[in-house]
Amino acid sequence: MHFSIRKPLTLVPLALVPLALVLLAPAARGGEADALPPAVSNAKAQLLSQFFGQGGASPAVLEYRRKLGEYQAARAAFDEEAGAYWSQISEKRRTRNAKRRSGQQVTLDDYVLEHPPLYSGPKRPVNPEPEETPERPARKPIPVVADFLRAAQELYQFMPQRPANEAEFKRAYARYAVASGLTREQAVRVYSFETGGTGSFDVQAGIEHGGKRAISTAIGYNQLLTTNSVELLAEQGDEFIRAMGAKVAQTSGPARKALEHKLVVLKKMVAYAKSVPDTWSEHDKIGNTAQGWAMHAMVLDVDVGPMLQTHKLLTSVLFARAKGYNRPLTAAELEMMNLTGDGTGLDMVTMPQAMREQVPTSNFFQRGGYERNPVAIRHNTVAKLLAVTDSRMDSNSSNAGARELAAAF
């Protein structure tokens, strides 16, 4: 099915409005075949009501209203076209999911092969008259590392054990990652993509490369969100507790006492994370509370942090294996699963190269997410998206942090 951008509606001069009404009347009386699409019809009705309500408006206001009408008509036509396209995307996705559940092979016909329409009509004009703008609710501040640490101290009387230096954390991460089955290439290249190859163990999204304001709660080498930390503690917490218990058993003196306290705190956090149903939405609710912030502080701990960072990636590797995909994931493929979620990412990863060249990236997004994602729009096939991810990993892997992490392996 081909989708094209409809041309913006051209307005009739003011003096011809009565004639326009006469010309529109037969369409209103005619059958369904003659009727305009509802969105365009509504836009025309708005134009006519604006013309009749002009009164003694100034030329600037009249010009604004004319341009506003053009914008509304063009936008309505586009939204109707885009709505049809994204409905087809959703339907194809449901079909693919159903086929996979029943063990059927997914083919090229199960994807939308046209690229989505992008709005190219007139911009919304600026009103020359003062307008009352509704008060926007105050934006909820994004918690930062200091908030996570404060929550851990207040709720658990615990402060994460930070490494003596960056190299110490990288060595701990490398040891655990290799023992768990991640490769050096996977770990280093994903780190290079996520942090630019320069990020520290406590780097937070937005507060990096000169940034002053956090844009999310994502921290660390693989940029875990608060919800990721809650979910990993719920799903992998028993393994973390076993690993910490083994370390306690091998330690003595004051260091052992500190590890014992850390193990007690870890057990409490795991129990709290497991106290809700194992779903992203439930974990997200905790992640947006002080409890979730306290759990997120564990990403900074030199013992627990490397385990959380590793399992952020390892869960995707294990998911692919469980679905019968046993070929080692490239770092770019792993990053796709890391970014888009395991199910969506695996949809791209399992696709043969010939299909990757043809399938638009829009098949793996919701409309709002796609239209806000310039990378997916510019690199608009699966092959192109994976290629630009690999390219960024290549360039960032030569940065100091990435070289130091590679050496830790």
* Domain map (residue ranges) of the chain: 14-110, 145-408
| Structure-block tokens of residue 73 | 């008509």
Mean pLDDT value across the chain: 87
Confidence of residue 140 (pLDDT cuts 50, 70, 90): confident
pLDDT tens-place string over residues 98-131: 998 888 999 999 999 999 998 999 999 999 888 7
| b/e 283-311 (16+ beta carbons within 10 angstroms → b) | bbebbbebbbbbbbbbbbbbbbbbbbbbb
Whole-angstrom distance, CA of residue 406 vs CA of residue 409? 6
145-408: CATH class? mainly alpha
pTM of the model: 0.78
pLDDT of residue 210: 74
For residues 246 and 5, the model is more confident at 246
Q: Does position 44 have pLDDT exceeding 60, yes or no?
A: no
Three-state SS sequence of 279-321: CHHHHHHHHCCHHHHHHHHHHHCCCHHHHHHHHHHHHHHHHHH
Residues in a beta bridge with 219: 204, 224
Q: Give the percent of the chain with pLDDT over 90.
A: 70
* Residue matched to tokens 């660390």: 220
pLDDT of residue 25: 39
pLDDT tens-place string over residues 252-296: 988 999 999 999 999 999 999 999 999 999 999 999 999 999 999
pLDDT tens-place string over residues 350-377: 899 999 999 999 999 999 889 888 999 9
Least confident window among 75-79, 132-136, 153-157, 239-243: 132-136
Q: Does position 20 have pLDDT exceeding 50, yes or no?
A: no
Q: How far is CA 55 from the centre of its chain?
A: 48
